[in-house]
Copies of this chain bind each other. A is one copy, B any other.
């Protein structure tokens, strides 16, 4: 596949996800302010990297991406709920995200919390309700179990708690990796694993997908930390150097900038080696992996 074809493929899939997401919300019989609050953050954009990873994994296994759309949307809803709750005054207290006022600034704190709760709850319904001719019941249940693990106390929620616990403390590298593996890594990994699960991948291939995904997740986070120092304010949508201002533990602060860059390269290399070994049509996943390592926002 030519790079041009890959980028065209990804932008058309992104468009599809962004068309479907608000339809799911419109469909709800709920107070309109709640639906508005849920939609506001879902529509705020972003790279949609998680749903794209899921759909690209399905494609790598020669499966119809269509079957994965509800899971892709469920993952994006969980990611979005986590951003809404993270931005709250009692957490990161952010007034802006991607250049727009955060959810609680527009809808108030109570509605923002409840919009997050609603998105989280709905995500499980989307998976349970999938077309049974495309996804059999046992597969749906595996998708639900793994999503709950990736998003809950053993995954993203646990990572967020560890992140708060670590604030203002000098962390070791393993402590920092624990936080990122859980706070962002597990849901990113799930996006890829879910594709493998739907494609009935063997246990061995699922394990390799997971290894690919965890390296990709850490690379994603390290690139984030680097961009906070070397990126352009316009591209990243927040002030450069905010991690240092907030005394955040980052890869550059623990390893120096060149150490962080070496670590980034290591994880990208590991991810690339693993994905090539699986024996699937992994071109788009490889492209996304390279993109994660070099992205400017």
Contact = CB atoms under 8 A, between A and B. Distances in A.
Nearest to A178: B31
A110 B161 CA distance: 8
A148 B125 contact: yes
A122 B34 contact: no
Contacts of A122: 148, 152-153
A6 interface: no
Contact of A153 (B35, B124, B145, B153): B35
A120 interface: yes
Interface string A21-56: 000000011110111001000000000000000000
Contacts of A149: 125
A92 B28 CA distance: 26
Contacts of A118: 152-153, 157-158
Contacts of A145: 125, 128-129
A141 B126 CA distance: 11
A31 B165 contact: yes
Interface string A131-165: 00000011011001100110111100110111011
A110 B124 contact: no
Given A109-B90, A153-B28, A148 B121 contact: yes
Contact of A157 (B121, B158, B165): B121
Contact of A124 (B30, B137, B148, B157): B148
A92 B101 CA distance: 24
Contact of A121 (B111, B138, B141, B153): B153
Interface in A148-204: 148-149, 151-154, 157-158, 160-162, 164-165
A157 B138 CA distance: 28
A114 interface: yes
A105 interface: no
A82 to B, nearest CB: 8
Contacts of A116: 117
A93 B114 CA distance: 15
Given A34-B161, A114-B164, A122-B152, 11 more contacts: A30-B158, A31-B158, A91-B113, A116-B117, A118-B157, A120-B120, A121-B148, A124-B148, A128-B141, A128-B148, A137-B141
28 contacts: A29-B154, A29-B158, A30-B153, A31-B158, A31-B165, A34-B153, A34-B158, A35-B153, A81-B117, A85-B113, A90-B109, A90-B113, A91-B113, A111-B161, A111-B164, A114-B160, A117-B120, A117-B157, A118-B152, A118-B153, A118-B158, A121-B148, A121-B152, A122-B148, A122-B153, A125-B148, A125-B152, A144-B144
